[in-house]
Amino acid sequence: AQSVTQLGSHVSVSEGALVLLRCNYSSSVPPYLFWYVQYPNQGLQLLLKYTTGATLVKGINGFEAEFKKSETSFHLTKPSAHMSDAAEYFCAVSDRTGANNLFFGTGTRLTVIP
């Protein structure tokens, strides 16, 4: 069974500051890992994903995440926050059976302070 824990339901950063959104997962099998972003009244948009290979994954809008198996973590980072990054971010995990059944965390709302 898979599960995802996102630490911090709300995160505030100043514009230009580092963004760090935390995600820990639990999975009985090697996982696929995802970060999605959701803007108000919009659907979810894929930021990045880890399936196999390089553990540091680069996504859209300057975001990246590192898969750390020993820590069961997949934290999302961005060196410099922009006002347009304000949104809800969801970490998700799926198993590797190919069913693409995503288990989502409860989300982290990012506020960017000018």
Partner 1 sequence: EAGVAQSPRYKIIEKRQSVAFWCNPISGHATLYWYQQILGQGPKLLIQFQNNGVVDDSQLPKDRFSAERLKGVDSTLKIQPAKLEDSAVYLCASSFDIFNTEAFFGQGTRLTVV
Residue 11: partners with Cβ closer than 8 Å, 6 or more residues away: 19, 20, 21, 108, 109, 110, 111
Tell me: does residue 55 bind partner 1 (CB under 8 A): no
Tell me: does residue 101 bind partner 1 (CB under 8 A): yes
Tell me: does residue 24 bind partner 1 (CB under 8 A): no
Residue 22 CA to its chain's centroid (Å): 7
Nearer to partner 1, 79 or 102 (CB): 102
Write down the residue that tokens 């347009």 correspond to: 84
Site residues, partner 1 (CB under 8 A): 4, 9, 32, 34, 36, 41-46, 49, 51, 90, 92, 94, 98-107
